[in-house]
Amino acid sequence: MKSPLKSSPGSGAVVSAPAAAGGGSPVVLGAALLGFFLISLDALIVTVALPDIGRSLGGGMSGLQWVVDGYTLLFAALMLSAGALSDRIGARRSYAAGLILFALSSAACGLAPNLTTLIAARLLQGAAAAVMMPASLALVRQGFPDQAQRARAIAIWTVGGAVAVAAGPVLGGALTATVGWRWIFYVNLPAGLLALILLARIPASPRLPSRLDLTGQVTAVIAMGGLTYGMIEGGAEGFGQPLVVGSLVVAVASAAGFLTAQAKGAHPMLPLQLFRSRVVAVSLAIGFMLNAAYYGSVFIFSLYLQQQRGQSALHAGVLFIPMTALVAVVNLASAKLAALFGPRVPMIAGQLLGAAGLLTLLTVGPHTPLWTVAALMVPVGLGGALAVPALTAMLLDAVPANRAGTASALLNTGRQIGGALAVALFGALLAGADTFRTGMQWSMLTAAAGLTLTAATTLTLRRNGHRNAGA
């Protein structure tokens, strides 16, 4: 059968590639899932190792913070550009490049002789993760052309991230306590090698042979970098600091330049007509709010458990396990619910479940039993697990296959921004409140209100998530 991606000679739209064997290859899914697992794992596994890293390499608290924040900064700043790169050179080629860079930078992290080298290697890891993320999801989109198969594949793909989120703090603590903190980076090497072996068995991906949108790429990176840096440093040092204000001003100016380049450029990397689709616009808002609620609550309760209740970092990580333990199962249930009732049902149910969970956390006080706290956090994790697979599948169904990399990068960029803004906002609410509990309650109320609002916007979508975005 003729590929739906193949265009007529001279159209310049898409360079077609052989279809994935069987129309839905487990090899494609395995390679994509491994990469997503590594990306998610490295966002969390390093946290509990920070005290040992400090004792080994020296440096103050701000230096250790950048071991974590450097990864996030480049990950968020380069995501959109990496999505466009995936569409232009092909998802398989882009994913392979990201995997190789991720493995090399992981080895550099493990071998780092000082804190400066480690931070630099973490920046490279974040850049590699940005390249891998949209290409990973684009591989799933291209490898599973059937809508129902694709929804199930995306649900399984999200399991990789769910398992990494659950295992990260515990695995990091276990490796640090037994063989040393450097092994939290070395474990990426065999997993990365396996993903590359699987990738070699996948046919080449379709490409968009248009010219590079250099202006759009540069302004997007500067805008995202300025915003992410401003949010991270503003939450830590205060939003009135000159460097923070300057970075946010640069972010706004660069964002304006980016939108102008996309509207007037001959070869925009982010066609603005995508936003004419209600599915795309609403999906981005929901993704933003889901991450804001999840990462904001994890941030708040990490501080609560360690600063207010005196728990160690490893014990705090263990207390988050109930929140994440059932996520993989719920990811798969989301796909089944979407197949039976349409994607709106798990999306709305997930957002409302998350909002309800945040409201129950208002009851947490200084003497609430710790396992009660762990149990009360469960609905927040399950709500996101229920909504995200259906949300992702709906978004990818709403765009052409050759725009899958751009669309997935756009969604994940919005989610990263949501998490970063929530951490900054909730940190400010804690700092400005009379007591920790008051700041915590205002944070939970804010997140619950946001999820309730986006749940209401989900009702404006068509029941079956009709494809209505242009190429």
Query: Domain locations in the chain?
Result: 22-199, 214-270, 272-460
Residues 6+ apart with CB under 8 A from 179: none
Whole-number Å distance between alpha carbons of 169 and 382: 18
Structure-token pair, residue 277: 């689709």
φ, ψ dihedrals at 433, nearest 5°? -90, 160
Whole-number Å distance between alpha carbons of 180 and 42: 16
DSSP 258-285: HHHHHHH-SS-SS-GGGGGSHHHHHHHH
Among 62, 78, 72, smallest CA distance to 116 is for 62
DSSP 237-257: H-TTSHHHHHHHHHHHHHHHH
Domain 22-199 has CATH 3.20.20.220: no
Among 414, 420, 357, smallest CA distance to 384 is for 357
φ, ψ dihedrals at 326, nearest 5°? -95, 5
Whole-number Å distance between alpha carbons of 92 and 86: 8
Whole-number Å distance between alpha carbons of 196 and 93: 11
Residue 385, pLDDT score: 85
Domain 272-460 has CATH 2.70.70.10: no
Residue 8, pLDDT score: 32
Residues in the chain: 471
φ, ψ dihedrals at 207, nearest 5°? -130, 155
Q: What is the dihedral of CA 48, 105, 248, 432, to 10 degrees?
A: 0
Q: What is the full per-residue pLDDT of the chain (471 aa) written as tens digits?
A: 333 333 333 333 333 343 433 345 788 888 888 888 898 888 778 777 777 788 788 776 557 667 877 787 788 778 777 877 787 788 888 899 999 999 999 999 999 999 989 999 999 999 999 899 888 888 887 778 777 787 778 878 877 777 787 677 778 777 877 888 899 999 899 988 998 998 888 877 666 665 667 888 788 888 877 887 787 677 667 778 898 899 999 999 998 998 898 888 777 777 777 777 888 889 999 999 998 898 888 878 877 887 788 887 677 778 878 887 777 678 778 878 888 888 889 999 999 999 999 999 999 988 999 999 999 999 998 998 899 888 888 888 887 776 776 777 788 778 877 877 787 778 778 877 888 899 999 999 999 999 999 999 998 887 655 444 444
Task: Work out the end-to-end distance of the chain between its first and last CA atoms, rounded to an integer number of angstroms.
Answer: 22
Q: Are 287 and 280 in contact (CB under 8 A)?
A: no
| Predicted structure pTM score | 0.73
22-199 matches 272-460 in fold? yes
CA angle in degrees (0–180, nearest 5) for 218-134-36: 130
